[in-house]
Structure 1
Amino acid sequence: MRLKKLKLGFILFFLLLVVACQDSGNETTNKSETTSDGLTTLTVFDSDANPDWVEEMETPVGKRIKEDTGVLLDPEFDIEGGQTKIPLMIASGDYPDMIVSKGADQLVDADALIDLAPLIDEHAPNLKKMLGEDGLNRLKWSEEDPSIYVLTTAPVDNEQITPSYGAWIQHAVVKELDYPKIRTLDDLKNVVKEYKELHPTIDGQKTIGLTMNTDSWRIQSSFLNSGFMMTGGSDDGEYYINPDTYEATLHYRRSIEKEVFKWWNEMNSEGLIDPEMFVQKNDQFEAKLASGRVLATIGPDYLMANPQQALREAGMEERMYGVYPVTLNEEFKNRSYQSNGLQVGWGISITKDCEDPVKAIKFLDYLASEETQIMLNWGIEGEHYEIKDGKRMIPEDEWEKRNSDKDYLKKTGIGFNFARFAPRYGDGVLDSTGQPFTTNTRELAIQNQTDTENEVLKAYGAELWKDLFPSAEEFPVKPWGAAYNISIPANSELQTINQRALDITKQLVPKATLADPSNFNVVWEEYMTALKNVNIDKAEDEYTELIRQKVELWSE
């Protein structure tokens, strides 16, 4: 550990200079303190943005949490994933009470985090119940260091209702074309092409066949991830993991994925994709979908929430989107429902600067309790839901608010506002009364669908979009979890190579997509050569070793 500290000190030397030059008058409080009304303030840095957060927790759910725990959270949210601010914390040696990180290697190397294992054992019965022995075993840092530094914030035993990734197509398109088969990328292309030719404009605006959300990190989760999602891979970030040998390959280097990006090239050459696709921002993408003139997109479900809600609020049900399990050809299966098991690696930690770690762990344990889990999903009884015949139910007018008010979560505090700070029960998990913790159940999802959506699903012989996708039972649980959650040693050569490879990918894959079809192979070979030149083979070997170590640790 001493050698690690020395190495870290040299690396962060210039960051220390930056911190030293900051105006002390602009420093923020980052230690727990007691407010005038007797609440204990716990500061927390979150590596993600949260537009729904309300200061002082002044929402119905937030107020109840303050009353129950005596804790006021003082969060700082980041849009860079903590990439800049966490190194600055390490350089200064000054930390908030808690940190939500996307990989904590550099924090662990800096001795910034405390071991949560004894705190959980003594003060967190709800966390122990939720995670179980197997889950707590997965949280161990390494074989050499069995400490628990990071508490996962992922859902536990999740049986997701909405497919996590697929091709999203307007209901109006499939209805007018008499519900065509949509199974392959060529099926998707034909549907978009035919409808676009029939309707070159929609509501006076030029029709866009297909666009993608490529703003910042979203280019990976949508456009770049189409490479493995369309060729039978599950989401492991930038790497494809061989399920038999655990060998890691930068997924773009799989020859079959070249065919996916060649399809993108063909779509572009035929004028079927948005010419602004690689330069637009997130709000532009959402505005285009909400206008009703985009026929299709591909990507994860969470990038569709705002446009879908906007279309529904505007009464444009037929321009909303259904999600289909499209792959390159019928040889492959969409693996949206393959289980990772409990996801660990990313999550919340308590730092060495927290003056009351017992208070902090008890707060996290409170979030994991059955009563709080129900509140975070359903809201306050009598205000957001009712009990009838012993069952929770949401009144029709409240459902309407949930569906049409884009600020519903912000106004109520329901949802990810607080659930993001601790593990949570996933969809399909039942409480002690036999009722689901979440509102995302099959029955409620069907009830919540629009008439148009039900009409389209019925035409395809389904009740939910989930019914069109291969089920979780068709795939084994991944013994390495999700590869993108596996911690990479801080400041390692692997991190450097991965970043260089990603920079090259963000430049050359779009270039190949936009190239003249006669030049696609040339650009692709340029891309493959550039990856070799940054020593990607070495990165794959090191990543393979990390995967195998994780599998071995979890199998003990």
Structure 2
Amino acid sequence: MSLTLMMSIVGCSSGNNNANENAPKETGNTATTNTDTTTNTTEAAEPAKEEPVTFTFFNATANKDTDTNKTEIGKILEDQTGVNFKMEHLVGDLNTKIGTMIASNEYPDILAPDSGIDKVLEAGAFIPLNDLIDQYGPNIKRVYGPYMNLMKSDDGNIYFLPFSATVGEYKPNPTIDQGAFWVQNRVLKDAGYPKIKTFDEYFNLIKDYAGKHKDDKLTGFMSLTHDWRFFATTNPPNHLAGYPNDGEVQVDMTSMDSKIYAANDDTKRWLKKLNEFNAEGLFDKSSFVDNYDQYLAKLTSGKVLGFFDYGWQVNQALQTLKTETVKNGGNDDLEYFPLPIVFDAGVKDQYIDPASFVNNRGVGITTSAKDPVRIIKFFNNLLTDENQKLVQWGIQGKNYEVDDKGRLYRTQEEIDKLKDNDYKRQVGIGYFEYYWPMYGQGSTFPDGNAVNPGRQPEVAQASFTAAEKDRLAKYGVQTYAEMFSAPDDRPWYPAWSIALEQGTDAQIYTAKKPDVQRKYFAKIVLASPDKFDALWNEYVGEIEKLPVAEYEKTMTEEVKEKTAKIKG
């Protein structure tokens, strides 16, 4: 299963993960205002003269329900606009919740339906935004202008605003919120901090350490296969071959031909290594039955030496281990170090996402909305440099500071306080940093500061322990991202965001392929090595029964079309 399905559930990953002028304008808990947002669209609006109003907002993710004006940031935004939102979050099954809305034809004023967005669109529940943007959205035009063609549906209307528009110079995350092969710090320490780059080097490193500690009941390597997160096991061969996460396909940089890798030599090589590790007792057989919580629990147990996954997906476990490090007096041996592993020396890794635009998720105004004009004005006001700084960084002097060079940073105390989700909600960052019209996570302000605090090198480095800094220094870097190659420009990226028409051969391929992989991956990995080739060939035969050629043809056409739109 590709990351397409992951995004259907969590919205983007990622991750995984933002200032205007040299000196910030807000102090204390008051944001700078400006009397004319139509002529200076990077400044926040002055307090509105209209009557206060409360709109409803359903966000299809887990969080505590609240009124936005009960948060510090929400109150500032209400002072500017007179608008408050009563926020409801998902409890239970998303499809059931969305289905109930559609059946009753009653919706919240605004809706971020995540994977339910296709059903919402099919039901005609979102209103067109084109005219509203033209009349009341100068900032919306500024932010989304380069992507407007991608945002339009077949009828020419824009029905929702995505969360990934890159504004300013693109800035990758200095830490790793995307894919990597992770290894315990103690394994690197034991080996003298060697430079590990290739597939065989990585697995031999783990094998050697496990061999020295046979009585410790260690797991050499573990994988995640639970539910929609199965992509954590199917995606690695793509990365090992030097491709970014385009989902089901590897896209040629020049021709843009898109080919599946589900049954190519890359996946065969990946599964053969897992099969060998299993035969040697170094692979966790429960990888094919454990659920997500069990997987995270094993990562925090200290017994797993290595795994592949995306930083955003294992962040909970990584943060738990950091907490344990503090309790253990700073010993971080059981924490993990991300590595950009590739099959062979000379292959350029592409784990770090390039600048991208995900146009299949977003937030829209529904047909039940009481006052769409007021809502679009709020969205427009939200998309100023100052308000994006507010919702991402928080309040100056409380959540971040500014040095004499105009660089935004956080003190250790501020970093520690924001690790508390309840505190983040109280401030409002926990509600506003995503799922609203926003500058994408890799964006920068005109002065060069990162829109997302996690992408500000000063913030990343301040969050590192002395032991982390020392370990990074052994590799000649100051951040984890410096271990990875810079991403190549891919205008279509990510291919997994391309929506396929229901019932077409291409869509049928994506629907049936995961079932074949689920059936065979466990068999192939857990089989005795002498049965590997026969099972692999059987698996390839089943994949070839699917409409592969039709899927590849469709994806090639769609990748080329998306590239043309983004350039045109």
* TM value normalised by structure 1: 0.82
Give the Å deviation of 1:187.
1.1
For the aligned residue pairs, the C-alpha RMSD in angstroms reads 2.8
User: 1:113 is matched with which residue?
Assistant: 126
- The one-letter amino acid of 1:438's match is N
- The one-letter amino acid of 2:361's match is W
* Whole-angstrom distance in 2 between the partners of 1:211 and 1:407: 32
Give the Å deviation of 1:193.
1.2
1:323 aligned to 2:338?
yes
For residue 280 of structure 1, the aligned residue among 282, 285, 290 is 290
For residue 466 of structure 1, the aligned residue among 481, 485, 493 is 481
**Would the alpha carbon gap of residues 103 and 225 (structure 1) be closer, same or farther in structure 2, given more than 3 Å must change?**
farther
* Larger RCO, structures 1/2 (Cα 8 Å, 6+ apart): 2
**Would the alpha carbon gap of residues 544 and 392 (structure 1) be closer, same or farther in structure 2, given more than 3 Å must change?**
closer
**Would the alpha carbon gap of residues 374 and 543 (structure 1) be closer, same or farther in structure 2, given more than 3 Å must change?**
same
* Whole-angstrom distance in 1 between the partners of 2:427 and 2:303: 32
C-alpha deviations, 1:341-394, integer Å up to 9, x for none?
A: 333222222233323222222233333222221122222233323455465442
1:447 aligned to 2:457?
no
Gaps of 5+ in 1: 1-36
SS for the counterpart of 1:280 is coil
Contact 2:109–2:370 (CA under 8 A) maintained in structure 1: yes
**Would the alpha carbon gap of residues 458 and 418 (structure 1) be closer, same or farther in structure 2, given more than 3 Å must change?**
closer
* Whole-angstrom distance in 2 between the partners of 1:183 and 1:553: 36
SS for the counterpart of 1:319 is coil
For residue 256 of structure 1, the aligned residue among 254, 266, 279 is 266
* Whole-angstrom distance in 2 between the partners of 1:306 and 1:134: 35
Gaps of 5+ in 2: 1-50
* Whole-angstrom distance in 2 between the partners of 1:353 and 1:481: 34
My pick for the range that moved more, 62-71 or 183-192, is: 62-71
User: 2:410 is matched with which residue?
Assistant: 394
* Whole-angstrom distance in 2 between the partners of 1:90 and 1:342: 28
* Whole-angstrom distance in 2 between the partners of 1:368 and 1:79: 32
**Would the alpha carbon gap of residues 95 and 243 (structure 1) be closer, same or farther in structure 2, given more than 3 Å must change?**
farther
**Would the alpha carbon gap of residues 98 and 491 (structure 1) be closer, same or farther in structure 2, given more than 3 Å must change?**
farther
* Whole-angstrom distance in 2 between the partners of 1:416 and 1:261: 41
Give the Å deviation of 1:104.
4.7
C-alpha deviations, 1:64-120, integer Å up to 9, x for none?
A: 44444422143333787x556546654554443333344855544443332222222
User: 1:13 is matched with which residue?
Assistant: none
For residue 506 of structure 2, the aligned residue among 486, 494, 498 is 494
SS for the counterpart of 1:276 is helix
* TM value normalised by structure 2: 0.81
User: 1:177 is matched with which residue?
Assistant: 191
**Would the alpha carbon gap of residues 218 and 68 (structure 1) be closer, same or farther in structure 2, given more than 3 Å must change?**
farther
Give the Å deviation of 1:325.
0.6
1:335 aligned to 2:350?
yes
* Whole-angstrom distance in 1 between the partners of 2:452 and 2:385: 11
1:98 aligned to 2:110?
yes
My pick for the range that moved more, 85-94 or 158-167, is: 85-94
- The one-letter amino acid of 2:175's match is T
* Whole-angstrom distance in 2 between the partners of 1:117 and 1:288: 49
User: 1:305 is matched with which residue?
Assistant: 315
* Whole-angstrom distance in 2 between the partners of 1:364 and 1:508: 47
For residue 230 of structure 2, the aligned residue among 178, 201, 219 is 219
Contact 1:98–1:348 (CA under 8 A) maintained in structure 2: yes
Give the Å deviation of 1:183.
0.6
SS for the counterpart of 1:150 is coil
1:351 aligned to 2:363?
no
Give the Å deviation of 1:554.
3.4
**Would the alpha carbon gap of residues 177 and 293 (structure 1) be closer, same or farther in structure 2, given more than 3 Å must change?**
same
**Would the alpha carbon gap of residues 148 and 56 (structure 1) be closer, same or farther in structure 2, given more than 3 Å must change?**
same
**Would the alpha carbon gap of residues 490 and 361 (structure 1) be closer, same or farther in structure 2, given more than 3 Å must change?**
farther
- The one-letter amino acid of 2:417's match is K
User: 1:243 is matched with which residue?
Assistant: 253
C-alpha deviations, 1:28-49, integer Å up to 9, x for none?
A: xxxxxxxxx9541223242xx3
User: 1:548 is matched with which residue?
Assistant: 560
Contact 1:167–1:299 (CA under 8 A) maintained in structure 2: yes
C-alpha deviations, 1:239-295, integer Å up to 9, x for none?
A: 222333333333213333211221122222222222221222222222222222221
* Whole-angstrom distance in 2 between the partners of 1:406 and 1:38: 28
